Amino acid sequence: MTDRRTARPGGVARVGHLVAAAAFAVCMAGTTLPTPLYGLYQEKLGFSELTVTVVFAVYAFGVISVLLLIGNVSDAVGRRPVLLCGLGCSAASAVVFLAADSVALLCLGRLLSGLSAGLFTGTATAYVLELAPPGRRARAGFVATAANIGGLGCGPLLSGLLSQYAPYPLILPFAVHLGLLAASFGLTLLLPETVAGARPLRTARPNRPTLPPEVRRVFVPAGIAAFAGFSLLGLFTSVSPAFLAVDLGVHNRAVVGLVVFTVFFASTLGQLLVPRLGTARAIPLGCLVLIAGLALLAASLARETVLPLVLSALVGGAGQGMGLRGAVGEVAAAAPAEHRGGALSSLFVVAYFGISIPVIGVGLLAGRLGLTDAGLAFAACMAVLAAASGAYLLRQARAGT
């Protein structure tokens, strides 16, 4: 079977990668939409900070489950059907949140959100790369990762503004997101398929993503960098609202959403530096910048001041973005085309372990040590991991030289 992009109008083919990226961003925005709202849910349902981290981490386990079981299914059944299923899961998550009156429903909503992200993460990244016209493929990697991280950043900004300044704070953000999902679904239906010989979706079978031998050399440092970077994102999207409210006295949900948005915005800016640096250099340099961001986070926690926290979001987010785009670029370049979706899914499995396990650890430690000391322990551990990844890559570079 030939590439079905040729069967579509030229205009769709030229902007198809942007349409796929927009759907990617809308889906990922839904995964962080509840971030500024956790305080309202705590008041409504009366649960602890540990429960917040567990509810948040349920999302990551949903992502990981999909990536491990069917992470490379789009290599067989095609990219578009998988993305349509992801949009459906995201819509179901929004509906559950609209009806949420218990912790169990919050967990279900987060699980469905995780399933949607798991279906999108590796598949949409590969789809954007494949839909890009030949003259724009050099920047398609940035478009994909910017859609991923930019969408994650827009979620808390949108819900923070709507919940603070509009009526129905626990309803309107999810209603707006449902409208965006409906538009994304319609546009995704217009996109061409890029997988030659794609089978019907009903024939899909559980099949764990595999790492081709060509990828394994670059995967270890890329995975460590992704783990450390995503752990910073996890902390900002789960624990930072409580730190801002309890320790810093910031109760404005729009401000909380803006602070969380800042880390993702900085990540997108960090990705812009990668073409000049090269993907191989971007990972160790990103780790170095990430360590600086973690040091600023530790300063904010220790001194209980806002400015180092904002600087931590800017610096740490830039380091995370550099490392992520470098990791995606290295893995995508090393993977054969028929295994690219599975290889990228494997990378994001490692990344999403970073967004869940450390966050639960912070929640457990916060009950015994307090949120400040738990955050300091987190910053120290992630700095060690980032340093390990950077040192490994530098040692490899010297050996190659």
* pLDDT tens-place string over residues 311-368: 999 999 999 989 888 888 888 888 887 777 778 778 888 888 888 778 778 777 877 7
pLDDT tens-digit map of 96-127: 999 999 999 999 999 999 999 989 987 898 89
Q: Is residue 3 part of a domain?
A: no
Would 196 be classed as within a structural domain?
A: no
* Number of folded domains that form the chain: 1
How long is the chain? 401
In a domain, 235, yes or no: yes
Contact 367, 50 (CB under 8 A): yes
Q: Does residue 63 register a pLDDT over 60?
A: yes
Q: Is the pLDDT of residue 152 over 70?
A: yes
Indicate the SS3 state at residue 46: coil
State how far Cα 63 lies from the chain centre: 10
Q: In the prediction, which pLDDT does 9 show?
A: 43
* Within-domain flag for 206: no
pTM, two decimal places: 0.81
- Token readout for 362 is 């912070």
pLDDT the model gives residue 7: 40
Question: What is the Cα 399 distance to its own chain's centre?
Answer: 33
| Closest to 149 (Cα-Cα) out of 343, 390, 327, 335 | 327
Report the distance separating Cα 166 and Cα 330, nearest Å: 44
Closest alpha carbon to 93 in 108, 72, 74: 108
Domain containing residue 25: 9-191+211-400
Give domain status of residue 4, yes or no: no
Pair 316, 232: CB distance under 8 Å: yes
- Residue 5, pLDDT above cutoff 50: no
Q: What is the CATH number of the domain that holds 384?
A: 1.20.1250.20
Kindly state whether residue 344 falls inside one of the protein's structural domains: yes
Over the stretch 77-101, which tens digit does the pLDDT of each residue have? 888 999 999 999 999 999 999 999 9
Tell me if 363 is assigned to some domain. Answer: yes
